Amino acid sequence: MDFGLTEEQRMVQEMARDFAEKEIGPYVEEDEENHYYRREILSKMGKLGLLGWSIPEEYGGNGMGWMEAVTALYEIAKVHTSWRLSISGNVWGPAMTINEWGTKEQKQTYIPRLVSGDSVGSFAMTEANTGSDVASMKTLAEDKGDHWLINGSKMWISGGHTCDIGLLYAVTEKGAGAKGISCFIIDYNKTPGVTRIPILKKVGMWPAPTSELVFENAMIPKENLLGPLNKGFQICMWMLNNTRMGCATGSAALSAACLEGSVQYANERTQFGKQIGKYQMIQQQIAEMKLEDEAAKYLVYRAAWLKENKLPSQQATSMAKLYGSIAAVHAANIAMKIYGSYGYSTEYPCGRWLRDAKQFETLEGTSNIHMQIISKIELGYQPNR
């Protein structure tokens, strides 16, 4: 496999890097301090085509695929990892899933709004007592003839209180476990009975909105069922195999940010009359970061290449997501050491890197879950889809 970038991919890389440095970079510290989400950045992404990956051009897609997508997201997440959620929340979550499972009318209605950035997207499956065990969810969707009646709650939903359009996973057949879950498209601006509560007490990812959703006799039109009835678990797993690429790419990019920052600091900081980068222990730490950073990046490229070529990619995606988490957390820890006392100061980004790195071990499948996926596929206990 040759992961060298084509001329077109290099242009995408440069455009995304330029966008991140000019539109996101100047506000990173301000938005961190104020826990502020700049919706206008999403709209600007849409106008540049940065939300149209792997979406047909007839629905507003940019005509490019997975390799271009991860290349662009990598540059954005390297500047501020919180913004990688917008691409997953709009494109690799709702837009791609509606494109795969939706009716023509659903595609025409929702996908263009998501890829243009005119609407903010989300997907809701996690509940207070339902994380890795998706099939144990309790939120109930009852068939009332001309509509679905939704009751229950969702927790830790990225973009839950800022989004316009979302995918909602709910039980449609009690007691059936994974075979009794369905997926729905929900327009939050037109759905009474939904209370959206911001979750403000988080360790990191402060400018990325996170929410609790409470459904109390919320009514969804019958035509908003996405895909076949009771096939929501299958749809959810298909979706996660795409959105996990956002986690994998974001973690690899955060690892790279830690490495770049540490190299710069090691060449600027002097102790005992010379740059600290001249000392063997610092060199060892930089070498460790470089090895893990390159491995994480190429695992992302490999998974993207498999997806691009429509080959089984579940194991590769889990490998990229798992190892990216390891690399990001380790790199953030080492960066904190290299920066010394200044690493513990909010004057430098080390604290943000460390806070943001830890979420990759949990989001969209814990590290333990990805260990299971990788090993079960390798042992032949489950197919590599």
What does the block give as tokens for 184?
């729905």
Separation CA 40–CA 46 (nearest Å): 10
| Ramachandran assignment for 323, one of left (phi > 0), alpha (psi -120 to 50 degrees), beta (any other) | alpha
Q: Is the dihedral of CA 92, 93, 99, 100 positive or negative?
A: positive
Separation CA 369–CA 371 (nearest Å): 5
Q: What are phi and psi of 139, to 5 degrees?
A: -55, 130
Q: Which residue has the tokens 């904190």?
A: 336
- Are the C-beta atoms of 66 and 245 separated by less than 8 Å? yes
What does the block give as tokens for 96?
């791609």
Residue 45 pairs in a beta bridge with none
Strand ranges in 111-173 using DSSP code E only, listed in sequence order: 121-124, 140-143, 147-158, 165-171
Q: Residue 296 is inside which H or E element, if any? A: helix 280-308
Amino acid in position 287: A
Separation CA 3–CA 256 (nearest Å): 17
Tell me how long the chain is.
385
What does the block give as tokens for 329?
């957390």
Q: Is the dihedral of CA 94, 327, 333, 366 positive or negative?
A: positive
- Residue of 23, 127, 364, 378 marked catalytic: 364
| 292 catalytic per annotation | no
- Residue 33: which residues within 8 A CB-CB, separation 6 or more? none
> Annotated active-site positions, please?
364
